[in-house]
Amino acid sequence: MFEFKDTEKANLIELKNIHQSYEDGKVKIIEDLHFLVEDKPMQGQFVVILGMSGCGKSTILRYIAGLQQPTKGEILIKDEARTRKHRISMVFQQYSSLPWKTVLDNVGLALQFEGVSKSERNDRAMDMIKLVGLEGHEKKFAQYPALSGGQLQRIAIARSLISNPDILLMDEPFGALDINTRLQMQDLLMKLWHEFHPTIVFVTHDISEAVYLGDDIYIMKRAPSKFVKHINVDLPLQRDRSIKREPRYEQLVNEVEDAMLAVGEME
C-alpha cells in the first residue's frame, strides 16, 4: 500500500487523516486518507489524480479550494489552515463563466474582487485573452453558442491564472470537449503551466491525458477511498505531442492502465 513520506522540502498541500461520510456515518466515501504535495517555487508541479467514479477525486479538490470540509481530518496549505490569503484557483468541468458578462469582464473577475482598477484589470485581462488565443472575442458574451465549449474553458483557465495562483485545481476540465479541442487544450495548458509555474492538481479519467500532462499520478481506490498507488512520470518537463510516439510514453500509459485495473479489484 502506498504511503506519502515527508522530505526536507516544504509542503504546499497536506491532507491529514481525512474521513468523509454522509447519512450520519452510514455512507463512507473517504477513510483515513493522506495527501501530500511538496512546494517547488518557480517550477510548480503537475499532479494528476485518477480513480473510479465516486471515489472522491472531486471532493479532494473541494477540500483544497475551501468549498467543503471533511467529516474529520486536517487540511493544510503551506503548513497552516487554509485561509483566503492562499492563492488558489479552480477550473470546473461545467462551464463556469458568467453568461451576462463579456469575455473581458469574465477574465478580469478575480482582479475585480481584489480591488484592481478597471483600466489595469482590462489591460491584464487582454494580455491573458491573447495568451489563450481568444483575441477578437473579448467583447462577446461568455455563453454558448456565441462561443464554443473549448473557448469557454479557455476563459475559465485565463480567469484562474490571471491572479497568479500558487495552486490551480482542475476538475476534469476537458471532459466535455470533442477530441480535437481536447488535444488543443492539453497543449495550451502545458504551455501556460510553463509560463506561470503554478502547482496544478488535475482530475481526469483519461489515462493518456494523465501521462501526457502529469509529473506524478496518484490513484485512489474505490470508496471508502484513499490513495493506494503513485506513478512517477519520468518524461521531460518540456513536452509536445511528439512524445506520445516515444516508447517510454507508451510504457507509462500501459503501466497506469494496469494499475487502474488492479486498483479496481481492491476491496
| pLDDT tens digits, one per residue of 8-44 | 788 999 999 999 999 988 899 999 999 999 998 888 9
- % pLDDT > 70, the chain: 99
The separation between CA 258 and the C-alpha centre of its own chain, rounded to angstroms, equals 23
- Please state, in angstroms and rounded to a whole number, the distance separating the CA atoms of residues 60 and 203: 10
Torsion of CA 173, 36, 29, 60, to 10 degrees: -30
- Please state, in angstroms and rounded to a whole number, the distance separating the CA atoms of residues 198 and 193: 6
- Please state, in angstroms and rounded to a whole number, the distance separating the CA atoms of residues 98 and 92: 13
As a 3-state breakdown, the chain gives helix, strand, coil percent values, each rounded to 5, of 35, 25, 40
**What is the pLDDT at residue 1?**
65
How would residue 191 be classed by pLDDT, with cut points 50, 70 and 90? very high
Residue type, 3: E
236 burial level (CB within 10 Å; 0-12, 13-18, 19+): exposed
Q: Which CATH class is domain 1-87+165-267?
A: alpha beta
State the average pLDDT for the chain: 93
| pLDDT tens digits, one per residue of 202-258 | 999 999 999 999 999 999 999 999 999 999 999 999 999 999 999 999 999 999 999
User: Is residue 9 a contact partner of residue 38, using CB atoms and an 8 Å limit?
Assistant: yes
- Please state, in angstroms and rounded to a whole number, the distance separating the CA atoms of residues 237 and 213: 9
Q: Is the pLDDT of residue 267 over 80?
A: no
Reference 17, options 94, 75, 59; nearest CA is 75
User: Is residue 166 a contact partner of residue 87, using CB atoms and an 8 Å limit?
Assistant: yes
Domain spans in the chain, listed from the N-terminal domain onward: 1-87+165-267, 92-163
- Please state, in angstroms and rounded to a whole number, the distance separating the CA atoms of residues 128 and 86: 21
